[in-house]
Amino acid sequence: MTRDDPTPDDHDGEEPFPEGERDTDDGEADANDPGDTEDSDLPNESAVGDGLDIPDDSAAEETTNEASRPDHRPAAANSTDPTDPTDSDPFAVHSADELGSASDPSVDDGMASVTDPNPSPEGGESGGSSSQGLFDDLLSGDPIFENKDVLRPSYTPERLPHRNEQINNMATILVGALRGETPSNILIYGKTGTGKTASAKFVSNELETTSQKYDVPCEVEYINCEVTDTQYRVLAQLANTFIEANQRHVEERLDEVRALADRAETNPGALDGTEFETPEAVESRIEELETDLDEFEPVPMTGWPTDRVYATFFDAVDYRERVVVIMLDEIDKLVEKSGDDTLYNLSRMNSELDNSRVSIMGISNDLKFTEFLDPRVKSSLGEEEIVFPPYDATQLRDILAARATLAFVDDALSEDVIPLCAAFAAQEHGDARRALDLLRTAGELAERSQTDRVDEDHVREAQEKIEIDRVVEVVRTLPTQSKVVLFAVILLERKGAKNINTGEVYNIYRRLCDEIDADVLTQRRVTDLISELDMLGIVNAVVVSKGRYGRTKEMNLSVPIEDTEAVLTSDSRLGDIEDVKPFVQARFDN
């Protein structure tokens, strides 16, 4: 449709983008085609397949190694000869020798000639059960990682350098729970990667182990509200956790009381000094406990009215005397998604509970969410506030160094790796998660490039890769309208436009909207969307004065164009747009 659009400058009838030109990937496609590699010109190419035509042994070995790559066929015979000149070939199986591996295909020689209808002169080249060498070269290098998991977000470190102050503050507030007092509610906030979750979990573990050690009834329940993000789910999860805890408690009690009943049958003195005066009292206690056990009913994941879920949770908590600390991580996500009802309900529980007490610890990446809270909830939740400031580069170095010792083999990191990771992450608002990601990714890149040492270049490459991954994720989750606006910017840049102004973007945007049947927003709204893209770091927009024509925004894409375009066109709506280039061209000639 757009192609036929009679825009004024279309009259020359020139097709600026003939079909063929759109396929710019030719070179790459060919590189993957085994038939198109240099090797295909070798006279022995056909010999590789049936192994019959090889005129000269030594030459054949070399050729075989080379030409067999596209097939993933290791030349097994090589691995048995330590003096083999082709040993440097990454596809040779020498690595299996180093590993003392039993999978060395050469040991299968006999088998191969039995199963192979077309045995090669060397024998064993295509042993039926032997590996094709896919993993051998990857295994061949010295390992870099001792334990990569240590660098993953799921790992809980035993020590948290530079968080003593925050951890001690939490402990000072929560210690009341171990004395049977109700601790103040706590609100923790700080940017992502400042150690909030790790510290909260650390404190929670300590609190629980100490409560067990001194046998004081204190329980900590951790909920990640990014996952559990509605009032129903939060209450249901809490209810079910406490129901399970109550069940365990009642079962233990039952065992004790039943054992006592048994002893009392043969020895009436067994009840002396217990809470029971008569065997009947013991029996009725057993019945009570059995009834309780029957009555515990877990909350289904959906379907109950919220009132009932709340009441069940309430009863489960109040079933016995204890102090309960509820940690709500990513609490802002809960409020954003489901409002502050949950927090309201939780924060006024204490006035109604008979046996137990509840204390809330909310953890948030930004403090703004408190603006959306009912003032009562806000003041209750914020009784105590603890701030987690960003780490600086020096602190990040300490954190990385501690992890690196566990994660990497000795000497795997060259000197500047940790400082560079720390410096990059310090720029990224002091994010320890980013620092660890960088270190892990740098290690993986080094591993892939088959060196045994991570160096500065790997870190830079990792930084780039992570940044692209971030952009991809941000772009992928943009609303459709923003995607269309961004697509317009990309199409203009593709045409070599610099300092693209809002008007140009808007014109392309409108036509793209037509194409995909989307509503066309006003230019003003599109300008807002551009500002949002600017804030996300996807475009860089500056306001420029055009003298008597007023002001406009001029922008450039600040992310890699290829990756961004690929994400956009993977959206089914945008992917459907065909022939975009011709009509961009048309626009441009205006």
User: Which listed option, Mg ion, ligand ADP, none, makes contact with residue 94 (CB within 5 to 8 Å by class)?
Assistant: none
Which of Mg ion, ligand ADP, none does 373 bind, CB closer than 5 to 8 A by kind?
Answer: none
Nearer to ligand ADP, 178 or 474 (CB): 474
3-state secondary structure of 233: helix
Find the binder of ligand ADP among 2, 86, 194, 502 (CB under 6 A).
194
Residues in the interface with Mg ion (CB under 5 A) total 1
Residue 198 interacting partner from Mg ion, ligand ADP, none (CB closer than 5 to 8 Å by kind): ligand ADP
Query: What's the token pair of residue 325?
Result: 């600390």
Helix (H) or strand (E) holding 512: helix 502-516
Least separation in angstroms between CB 213 and Mg ion: 28
* Side chain identity, residue 500: I
Partner whose footprint covers residue 279, from Mg ion, ligand ADP, none (CB < 5 to 8 Å by kind): none
Q: How far is the CB of 187 from Mg ion (least distance, A)?
A: 14
Q: Name which of 407 and 521 has its Cβ closer to ligand ADP.
A: 407
φ, ψ (nearest 5 deg) of residue 322: -175, 165
Question: Of the two residues 78 and 197, which places its CB atom closer to Mg ion in the complex?
Answer: 197
Residue 9 in contact with residue 589, Cβ under 8 Å? yes
Residue 196 engages ligand ADP in binding (rule: CB under 6 A): yes
In this complex, which beta carbon is closest to ligand ADP, that of residue 92 or of residue 174? 174
Using CA atoms of 248, 249, 251, 252 in order, give the dihedral in degrees to the nearest 10.
Answer: 110
- Closest listed residue to residue 491, CA positions, set 509, 510, 518: 509
Rule CB under 6 A: is residue 225 a binding residue for ligand ADP? no
Nearest-angstrom CA–CA distance, 413 and 458: 10
The C-alpha atoms of residue 387 and residue 191 are separated, in whole angstroms, by 9
Residue type, 343: L
Tokens standing for residue 384: 């105590």
Interaction mask 146-185, Mg ion, x per CB under 5 A: ----------------------------------------
Instruction: Give, as one character, the DSSP assignment of residue 11.
Output: G
C-beta closer to Mg ion: residue 197 or 585: 197
The piece of 59-67, 193-201, 283-291, 294-302 that touches ligand ADP (CB under 6 A) is 193-201
The stretch near ligand ADP (CB under 6 A) out of 158-166, 283-291, 490-498, 510-518 is: 158-166
Work out which of 76, 399, 413, 491 binds ligand ADP, going by CB under 6 A.
Answer: 399
Of 438 and 538, which CB lies nearer to ligand ADP in the complex structure? 438
Q: Determine contact, residues 564/486, Cβ cutoff 8 Å.
A: yes
Nearer to Mg ion, 197 or 342 (CB): 197
Tokens (6 digits) for 218 = 């204190």
Which residue's Cβ has the minimum distance to Mg ion? 197
Sheet holding 186-189, edge to edge: 218-224, 322-329, 356-364, 186-189, 384-387
Q: Which is nearer to ligand ADP, 159 or 548 (CB)?
A: 159
Return the residue of 432, 466, 533, 567 that touches ligand ADP, per CB under 6 A.
432
Q: Using CB distances below 5 to 8 A depending on partner kind, what does residue 163 bind out of ligand ADP, Mg ion, none? A: ligand ADP
In sequence order, the 6+-apart residues with CB closer than 8 A to the CB of 378 are 370
Question: Which CB, 285 or 333, lies closer to ligand ADP?
Answer: 333
| Nearest C-alpha neighbor of 101 from the set 130, 69, 72, 61 | 130
Phi–psi pair at 539, nearest 5 degrees: -120, 160
**Phi, psi (rounded to 5 degrees) for 369:** -60, -25
Task: Provide the CA 417 distance to its chain's centre, in angstroms.
Answer: 23
Contact stretch for ligand ADP (CB under 6 A) within 114-122, 196-204, 316-324, 487-495: 196-204
Q: Report the amino acid identity of residue 507.
A: N
Site for ligand ADP in 197-216 (CB under 6 A): 197-198
Stretch that binds ligand ADP, among 35-43, 156-164, 338-346, 500-508 (CB under 6 A): 156-164
Which residues between 358 and 387 bind ligand ADP (CB under 6 A)? none
Residues 183-212 that bind Mg ion (CB under 5 A): 197
Q: Which does 143 bind (CB under 5 to 8 A by kind): ligand ADP, Mg ion, none?
A: none
Establish if 438 lies at the interface with ligand ADP (CB under 6 A). Answer: no
Angle, helices 502-516/523-535, rounded to nearest 10 degrees: 100
Q: Nearer to ligand ADP by C-beta: 190 or 443? A: 190
- The answer to whether the CB of 487 falls within 8 A of the CB of 581 is no
- Per the document, the length of the chain is 590
- Looking at residue 526, its amino acid is V
Amino acid at residue number 68: S
Binds 573: which of ligand ADP, Mg ion, none (CB < 5-8 Å by kind)? none
Which residues neighbour 528 within 8 Å (Cβ) at sequence distance 6 or greater? none
| C-alpha to C-alpha distance for 438 and 37, rounded to whole angstroms | 35
Rounded CA-CA distance 573/478 in Å is: 13
- Select from 253, 433, 453, 465 the one that contacts ligand ADP (CB under 6 A): 433
Q: Is 193 in the site for ligand ADP (CB under 6 A)?
A: yes
Task: Say whether residue 101 binds ligand ADP (CB under 6 A).
Answer: no
Contact of residue 438 among ligand ADP, Mg ion, none (CB under 5-8 Å per partner type) = none
159-178 residues near ligand ADP, rule: CB under 6 A? 160-163
Alpha helices in 99-142 (DSSP H): 109-115, 136-140
Interface residue list for ligand ADP (CB under 6 A):
153, 157, 160-163, 190, 192-198, 399, 432-433, 436
- Residues of this chain that interact with Mg ion (CB under 5 A) are 197
